[in-house]
Amino acid sequence: MNEKEILKKVDHTLLSTTATWDDIRQIVDDGIAFDCASVCIPASFVKQASDYAEGKIPVCTVIGFPNGYDTTAVKVAAAKDAVENGAKEVDMVINLGWVKENRDDLVLDEIRQVRQAIPDALLKVIIECCDLTDDEKIRMCEVVNQSGAEYIKTSTGFSKGGATFEDVELLRKYSSPEVKVKASGGIRSMEDAEKFVELGAERLGTSRLVKIAKEQPKEAS
């Protein structure tokens, strides 16, 4: 797999709490230049970024981020607001406390409510693998399989760990064929990215890969 094929799977991401519009605009420019799958940015910049991008790249944002413990009503409202502002993709964080309490019914209901609120947007569900046991990850695969979401996602990148090869392999094994896997957090090289794709990831959430591509020497024409 060559670099261009990898970058087509990248959600080029900037979720820093101190990000400015100049930073976001650069993310959009780079995402377009390197033909990334989307740019993933804070919700407060979605309208501005969507207008600026003029349809050249999908804008993605996050809700319930990074801790997942907002109420369902807040997550639904945030998702609707993001889409009304131009987001084409939404990455939501589940309530991990409910997972620990074996309240999979509540997790499923919440995802379904968000799904119903944004029927035309792509929905990715972040399960924060580093905070779950393997049994809990498998349960969450089953929940997402039933939810109508398009993706299950490994991580926010804001907890104690990011994507691992083992987690991507597990998510791919227990997710239905209709549910895709997104690896996010800690993807440090093109080699890592290629391995994640080989193991079943169809999206990669990262800021590093575009930076690596920008640092590559340009071929002489």
| pLDDT digits 0-9 by tens, 2-11 | 999 999 999 9
Q: Is 182 a catalytic residue?
A: yes
What pLDDT does residue 218 have? 61
Catalytic residue among 9, 75, 153, 180: 153
Active-site residue, 153 included: yes
Closest CA to 43 of 27, 58, 60: 60
Q: What is the pLDDT of residue 221?
A: 37
Query: Which pair of tokens denotes residue 172?
Result: 């791919």
Residue 220: the pLDDT is: 40
Residue among 30, 91, 167, 192 flagged as catalytic: 91
State the pLDDT at residue 217: 67
> 75, 88, 124, 182: which is the annotated catalytic residue?
182
Which ranges of the chain have pLDDT less than 50? 220-221
SS3 159: coil
- Distance of alpha carbon 182 from alpha carbon 213, whole angstroms: 20
**What are the start-end ranges of the H helices in 131-205?**
134-147, 165-174, 190-198
Structure tokens at 213: 């591509």
Q: Where are the domains of the chain?
A: 59-215
pLDDT, tens only, 49-100: 999 999 999 999 999 999 999 999 999 999 999 999 999 999 999 999 999 9
Q: Does domain 59-215 have CATH number 3.20.20.70?
A: yes
Identify the three-state secondary structure at position 54: coil
- 173 is an active site residue: no
